[in-house]
Amino acid sequence: MNSPLKGILIFLLILLAFSGNILWYWMKNILKQSGYEVYAFAVHWADFGNMVNLIRRTEEVELKRKYKRILWSLLIILVIFISIAYLLIVRLDSGM
């Protein structure tokens, strides 16, 4: 893979990591305000289940929609981040 493309992919990884962290801690803040127990630097995966429970519990349509957008955005960012990281690590190291 050529160097400019590699540079672009690394930049995208950094951008996705930054965006993902913002969304994740925004989600943690929402969960905390809603009475869920959250930890700043641990038990991140439990936040997904708690967010799904919060979405199910929420009756206000606009708030539910907002929570769904945050959760789906975070999941999409994670999938794209893992895909690009895989491409950089596996494909570039093998010379493809």
Cβ(12)–Cβ(87) under 8 Å?
no
CA distances to 2, 7, 41, 42, 50 from 36, in Å: 47, 40, 15, 14, 7
Predicted TM-score (pTM) of this structure: 0.84
How confident is the model at residue 6, as a pLDDT? 87
DSSP-based three-state secondary structure for 62: helix
- pLDDT, tens digit, 9 for 90 and up, residues 40-78: 777 778 899 999 999 999 999 999 999 999 999 999 999
Q: How many domains does the chain have?
A: 1
- 10-31 pLDDT, tens digit per residue, is 999 999 999 999 999 999 999 9
Domain housing 26: 3-93
Under 8 Å CB-to-CB from 92, ≥6 apart: which residues? 1, 6
